[in-house]
Structure 1
């Protein structure tokens, strides 16, 4: 986890002079499972090819920060071995306002974002 490239972006610390964009607006539950990428297919062995790629957590679940969203579970499925990835899953509790009629008219205008 110390070398994970996504966590610093979520914390707003890209390590570069440029801003982190929208990454700090998102969050992820704590990862308590082994890396989910670069397995040999049909095995529990990480990349044994000549490349010896470093295992990583490339399959992630992020959500926009919101006090009404609570992560209940976040894990991988190590028994599904038909790929070099292991799937991940999340379970959430989400508070919903059943009387919500949509955004106010002023917020319904489409906006254009320019990326440089």
Structure 2
């Protein structure tokens, strides 16, 4: 499994039979068609501009024979990261306060 830049050491303890590789999404350290399938969850919105997004998708297609990419739907009424209704439709300065409140623990994050 490839992970982002976050600390993933706890995963190595929980899933010892899996091998984890720390890599960015544009330069994956795998051969062409190294995997039968590649699944990527909610990453494209963090990559940057359209060119960087395109390059990331191309890289996933390079290493996988089949590729599945998911991303949060901005029209879904529940904000993906905080699980709060309609927060992502607020002005950026207001919605940023909700994200900050979740990060420092004032709002509990839940899985949906």
Do both share a fold (TM > 0.5)? no
Give me the TM-score of the superposition, normalised by structure 2: 0.22
Computing the radius of gyration from Cα coordinates, the structure with the larger value is 1
TM-score normalised by structure 1 residue count: 0.22
